């Protein structure tokens, strides 16, 4: 197979690139595009790619100046589609973060790459936002692409995280063999236990009057005889903190997968060991398909460049994990896409 020329938009820390490397698909990044300076530097460190290749702002890209490429990947911003966001939507020209997806379409119109992969929250397919989803599919169809789409949950592909996302695979009609099928789910469930660190810093433990009440009242063995729900989750109970959102009060068994990791450190999933604690940033990275080595390479580099070597990067590391696509799912998709 020839080297795949990749244009990576809304790159984050490069989940597509990690998945391509893990599946031994030879690729070459012509450019990446990431506006967040911390994520851009993390991407550069992880993939040994110069930040000079970063196009930074997708709205300022001139497609005519781009080199030719085979594969375009874009996990465009989901905030305006997400149930956790304001629901502003992504109408073209509206100025919302999610409307940035249409700059990708402008690039596609000019360059017509062989393959396109788009990832977003499943809420983009709901009644309120479906018109944008259908417009994207219809536009690419008129541009000469066959489009395959499906909502996949990362816990079905070996990840210890339940994260549902919609994936759209677009293949140019002149090269499409019509054999692409989304990967079948794996039968086994990967639990939180598989990613837990040892020697946890005390700052990750949840200690306040609400958590103390929870620990005193919870039946620690109650979840042992239960089966995880359809999302692979096994809830131990809920903290009765009236000042927190319901989702931030939920506590999960380490025998289950963890719920979707979000960008804020306040919303990091809570687990029940012998004490109650949040997942660490490193554990969140591992739940997203990156390695402990990846995590420490990036963390150490960030602290040296932005914090004079001081330990101040927790929030950035949480945010990067929460923004990332789960690598495990991408590996299975890419294997199917390029197996022929």
Rg (CA), the chain: 20
Give the residue numbers marked as catalytic: 78
**Cβ contact 149:166 at 8 Å:** yes
**Cβ contact 20:333 at 8 Å:** no
Per DSSP, 75 falls in state: -
**Cβ contact 210:239 at 8 Å:** yes
**Cβ contact 277:204 at 8 Å:** yes
Tokens for 98, please give them: 């999610």
Which phi and psi (to 5°) does residue 119 adopt? -125, 140
Tokens for 211, please give them: 């958590």
* Residue environment code for 33-52, b if the CB has 16+ CB neighbours within 10 A, otherwise e: bbbbebbbbbbbbbbebeee
Angle at 35 between CA 33 and CA 37, to 5 degrees: 115
**Cβ contact 80:89 at 8 Å:** yes
Reduced DSSP (H G I as helix, E B as strand, rest coil) percent helix, strand, coil of the chain, to 5: 40, 20, 45
Which residues have C-beta within 8 Å of that of residue 337, sequence separation ≥ 6?
A: 115, 117, 169, 171, 180
């Amino acid at each position: 197979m020839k080297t795949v020329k990749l244009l990576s938009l809304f790159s984050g820390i490069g989940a597509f690139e990690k998945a391509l490397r893990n599946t031994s698909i030879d690729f070459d990044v012509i450019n990446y595009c990431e506006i967040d300076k911390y994520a851009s530097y993390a991407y550069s460190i992880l993939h040994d790619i110069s930040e000079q290749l970063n196009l930074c702002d997708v709205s300022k890209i001139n497609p005519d100046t781009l080199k030719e490429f085979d594969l375009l990947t874009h996990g465009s911003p989901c905030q305006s589609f997400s149930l956790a966001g304001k629901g502003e939507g992504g109408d073209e020209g509206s100025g919302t973060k999610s409307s940035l997806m249409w700059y990708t379409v402008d690039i596609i119109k000019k360059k017509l790459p062989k393959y396109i992969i788009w990832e977003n929250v499943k809420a983009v397919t709901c009644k309120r936002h479906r018109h944008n989803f259908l417009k994207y599919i219809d536009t690419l169809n008129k541009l000469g692409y066959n489009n395959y789409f499906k909502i996949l949950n990362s816990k079905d592909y070996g990840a210890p995280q339940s994260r549902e996302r919609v994936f759209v695979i677009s293949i140019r009609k002149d090269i499409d063999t019509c054999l692409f099928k989304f990967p079948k789910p794996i039968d086994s469930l990967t639990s939180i236990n598989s990613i837990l660190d040892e020697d946890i810093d005390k700052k990750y433990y949840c200690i306040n009057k609400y958590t103390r009440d929870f620990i005193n009242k919870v039946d620690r063995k109650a979840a042992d005889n239960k089966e995880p729900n359809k999302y692979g989750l096994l809830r131990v109970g809920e903290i009765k903190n009236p000042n927190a959102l319901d989702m931030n009060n939920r506590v999960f068994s380490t025998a289950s997968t963890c719920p979707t990791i979000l960008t804020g450190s306040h919303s990091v999933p809570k687990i029940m060991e012998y004490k109650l604690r949040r997942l660490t940033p490193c554990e969140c990275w591992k739940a997203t398909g990156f390695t402990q080595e990846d995590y420490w390479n990036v963390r150490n580099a960030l602290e040296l460049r932005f914090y004079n070597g001081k330990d101040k990067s927790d929030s950035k590391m949480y945010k990067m994990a929460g923004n990332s696509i789960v690598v495990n799912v991408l590996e299975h998709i890419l294997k199917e896409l390029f197996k022929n």
